[in-house]
Structure 1
Amino acid sequence: MESAVLEKNATVRPTGFFPGIRLGVSLLFLANGFAAGSWAPKIPEFAQRLALGESALGVMIMIFGIGSLLMMPVAGAMVARLGSGRISLMSGFALMPMLLLITLSPGWLSAAVAMFLFGGFIGAMDVAMNANAVAVEKAMHRAIMSSCHAFWSLGGLLGAGIGGYLIEVLGIFGHAVLVTVVIGLLIAATWPVLYRHDAPEASVDGGKEKLRLPATPLPWLIGLIALFSMIPEGAMLDWSALYLKNELGAPLAVSGFAYAAFSLTMAAMRFAGDLVRDRFGPVRTLRASAALGMIGLFIAGVAPTTTVALIGFAIAGIGIANMSPIIYSAAGSIPGVPSGIGLSVVTTLGYSGILFAPSIIGFIAAHAGLGTVFMAMPLLALTVLALSHLVRHAERK
């Protein structure tokens, strides 16, 4: 039945179908990454305006994470019913004004609601656009996941790299308005070229049977790899700017460069990710990536100056870049487990690290400092190295 669906889709593909749908899903990742990156340079002002200490800021970030994890399964169910293209657009337009809403929040209660919605629509769009990328891969019969994640990193680089400067030039409100407009334009540009012919996997040949959680431990172990691989990404997004500003004395305009340096090298390596994985294989690529990530984070944690910290964050970006795409490819190729189910397990566990670990880091940093946190974070990569052989299922024959 699945082949019949694909054949039916093939009959409606216009000229230039493949470049078009690849551009469409890439713009989704770019918009989502730009929204996330634009949040990073706003964090110091957000904390100062609401008089939030590191522990209280950690609570706000946890609320962001709760919103994301609650909306992810909702978005997954909506994708199953309506398709990834439609839900990607809906969640993208809903995400558009969220940073503006955070900026206009007068107190901690309204800010908490805005953070919950911001995290919720970031998470919903993330699920939908990754599902769309998987559908495009199947239609094109080639891997594009690394390059899609590269566009997410590029969006994060742009948002974080120019965010501090724009805040100083335009002010907090002007920056939020500009971010809202840019996200809206990117989503609007996606509209005519987005792939909308994906069939929900759970409805093909299996009814509700395929929606059951897998009994085999392999998806859960790969999800554990995702968890420890993605915690540093969340830490970089939420704490790197504050680390440069508060502990290394960097000015506001420079503090956003930490995440920008990380995103720059990550984006570059993700654009090359498919070629690297084809050349060295997923297992060796993951091991080398984990080792580089460990080195970079340690350098950043012990850095005596802002420049050295930026070098460390850049090295960490090189290492961490292709870990998630390899893990996702493995999750979607587990023998005996439908790809949608494997991806849902691994994505949920992985994003738990991005969304909740930074809030825990806030409580630790209040007592030990963020430098100590970044210096100790490479210990997480030991689990990745120990289980790295499990991503052999990402091998492309």
Structure 2
Amino acid sequence: MSTLVAAPPRAARIATWVYFGVNGFAIGLWVVHIPNIEHATGITHSTLGLLLLVLGGAAFLGMQVAGPLADRVGQRRLVPASGVLLGLSLFGPGLTDSWWTLGLTLMVLGFANGSLDVGMNAHAVVVERAYPRPIMAAFHAMWSIGGAIAALIGAMTLRADVPTEVTLGACGALLVVVSLMTGRFLIEAEVPEEHDEDDVPSSKPPAKLVWALGGLAFGLMLAEGVANDWAALQFRDVLGTSTSTAAYAYGAFAVAMTIGRFATDRVAAVIGAMAIVRYGAALAAVGLTIVIVSPWVAVALVGWALFGLGLAGGVPQLFTAAGNLDPRASGALMARVVGLGYVGLLAGPALIGGLAHWMPLNVAFILPVVLCVLTVIGAPVLRKPKD
């Protein structure tokens, strides 16, 4: 007797791709306009640094609010609402003329970003459950694609002297429309009132396991943050390259990470999440070690590419694991792990900057290497009980 298997929700999968792209696009558009906004408001670099902390703090708050809210009202309501708020929040930075008005707009932008981040990841876990293989990493790749598109649009509009408020406002309006139109294709998690022990845990997952997943996310995203902010500076200040050549360092990292995320799901279906995290972190440690010791630009480029490739698949596996610990509280659990990872993403560049005051930049990179090695050691927390 044949068994009928429900078709995977392809429309929901595509919609989730769109929201990841929307999130990456919005943040990328803000980043490329930072210099213009800084000039328009007349703030100093140090003030901008403090305001970026406000942005990060608001994002963390948004994550912690959105997680339990997603469990209460459902991702199908939360995700579009967060996308609309994110689009509307893009209007603000281009219209500000002082540090305090910019700070207020960044609070809204950060809160919306954090809310959408948790909501779309929680929904991605729901969609992935309906598929016979992993699909989470490709969603994260779409975030990178969204950021790349924002960089291209930002470069073209800046070159054409389009006012910042026009670019941000037009793109923000577009994101509002896209978020509203895409929301109808989202789905809700199906958790029966009476849970089967084999399908849904009867008790809350151990707090130590949640913290362990969050700790691994913290380490991997801290390493990613180091590459985002320090790769180009390492080429310029340590290897003595020109500014234009230095840009290739981050480019090698970002391209390798994006390609790796598109490939990770297929690999994870064969070797499992634990192996992706363990061997990926090991490859990242090797890649950054090459960067630390190599005096040659070509070899260091290979090191940055290996670093990006190694980090590509780990975080999506951790988010999936967190969302599947207890489907009844998927959003809240996701918020804790994503939140800790986000703290690492913010803390990494600052920690390296502090260490660089006391030691060469290359030596400071030993910190993310150590965290990658610790991830290799801690990866077995992803091992399923039946393994």
Q: Which residue is equivalent to 1:7?
A: none
Q: TM-score, normalised by structure 2?
A: 0.79
- Give 3-state SS (helix, strand or coil) of 1:191's partner: helix
- Give 3-state SS (helix, strand or coil) of 2:383's partner: helix
Quote the offset at 1:148 in angstroms.
Answer: 1.3
* CA deviation map 1:181-207 (0-9, x unaligned): 553454245234x223335x6x9459x
Q: TM-score, normalised by structure 1?
A: 0.78
Q: Which residue is equivalent to 1:5?
A: none
In structure 2, runs of 5+ residues without a counterpart are 1-5, 196-200
- Give 3-state SS (helix, strand or coil) of 1:196's partner: coil
In structure 1, runs of 5+ residues without a counterpart are 1-9, 11-15
Quote the offset at 1:94 in angstroms.
Answer: 0.8
CA distance in structure 2 between the aligned counterparts of 1:189 and 1:257, rounded to whole angstroms: 37
Structural mapping, 1:143-292, within 5 Å: 143-160=134-151, 163-171=154-162, 173=164, 174-177=166-169, 179-184=171-176, 186-192=178-184, 194-198=185-189, 204-205=193-194, 214-237=205-228, 249-250=242-243, 261-292=252-283
CA distance in structure 2 between the aligned counterparts of 1:189 and 1:48, rounded to whole angstroms: 35
**2:94 matched to 1:103?**
yes
Q: Which residue is equivalent to 1:115?
A: 106
CA distance in structure 1 between the aligned counterparts of 2:13 and 2:128, rounded to whole angstroms: 9
Using the TM superposition, name which of 21-30 and 105-114 deviates more: 105-114
- Give 3-state SS (helix, strand or coil) of 1:290's partner: helix
Structural mapping, 1:289-304, within 5 Å: 289-298=280-289
Q: Which residue is equivalent to 2:379?
A: 388
8 Å contact 2:210–2:337 — kept in the other structure? Answer: yes
Quote the offset at 1:271 in angstroms.
Answer: 1.6
- Give 3-state SS (helix, strand or coil) of 1:93's partner: helix
Using the TM superposition, name which of 62-71 and 343-352 deviates more: 343-352
CA distance in structure 1 between the aligned counterparts of 2:136 and 2:218, rounded to whole angstroms: 18
**2:341 matched to 1:350?**
yes
CA distance in structure 1 between the aligned counterparts of 2:79 and 2:366, rounded to whole angstroms: 37
* CA deviation map 1:270-315 (0-9, x unaligned): 1221211123333332222113323444555678798777654433
CA distance in structure 1 between the aligned counterparts of 2:236 and 2:81, rounded to whole angstroms: 36
Q: CA RMSD in A?
A: 3.9
8 Å contact 2:352–2:365 — kept in the other structure? Answer: no
* CA deviation map 1:232-273 (0-9, x unaligned): 23344455577778985526xx88766554333222211221
Quote the offset at 1:60 in angstroms.
Answer: 2.4
* CA deviation map 1:343-392 (0-9, x unaligned): 34322322221244444555555776866655643222122122122222
- Give 3-state SS (helix, strand or coil) of 2:44's partner: coil
Q: 1:211 to 1:99 in 2, by over 3 A?
A: farther
Identity of aligned residues (%): 31
